[in-house]
Amino acid sequence: MLNSEVTAQRAAGEIKPLKERKIDVAILIFFFVNILFITYIVDLEQLVIANPYHYKQPIWPPSIFLSVIHSYGKTYDPLLMARPVWWKATIWIDALFFGPFYLFGIYSFIKGRKWIRIPAIIYSSVMMTNVVIILSEEIWGPHASPHLYFVLLDNAPWLIFPILIITRMYRFDDPFAYRG
């Protein structure tokens, strides 16, 4: 049988295999990058080190990552180095809520579990809100980036993927299933 005939014969409601859900694979890559690097290395550094210009090496994150993060901040992103209170609040949201969400999201997207639908929409809404606030500071605030286009491009995935996730999740009660 041809692939199209096999797909046509699938029962409505049956979960599509991950290899047939290309957008979900991209979302999974985004979740993995966030859980393995952004949330608990880049963002955690913001909470562990109060003053990036004078600090004692913490247990985590490793010094190689601190060097990269601080070099990026000094060159491109003064906000990352300034660490105002509101900024740290967004980092706490990331560490306490987004990190666990990524773990549940990875499991749910791999297994095709529809219960992730509403949490994914909530996550995406909060993420977009945080990023718009952060980018507003990067553009117009006292810690505006001297390399704005680079910083905007660097932050674009945290706007693009939440939009993609909301678009993917809102249309159907079971976004992972075949439709009849």
42-75 confidence digits (pLDDT tens): 999 999 999 999 999 999 999 999 999 999 999 9
| Token digits of residue 94 | 């990331």
pLDDT, residue 1, reads 46
Question: What CA dihedral angle connects 124, 141, 49 and 68, to 10 degrees?
Answer: 80
Whether the CA torsion 76, 81, 85, 90 is positive or negative: it is positive
Q: What is the pTM for the complete model shown?
A: 0.92
Whole-number Å distance between alpha carbons of 156 and 79:
16
Note the pLDDT tens digit of each residue in 91-103.
999 999 999 999 9
Q: How confident is the model at residue 3 (pLDDT cuts 50, 70, 90)?
A: low
Whole-number Å distance between alpha carbons of 158 and 127:
7
| Token digits of residue 49 | 């080190």
| Token digits of residue 91 | 């980092």
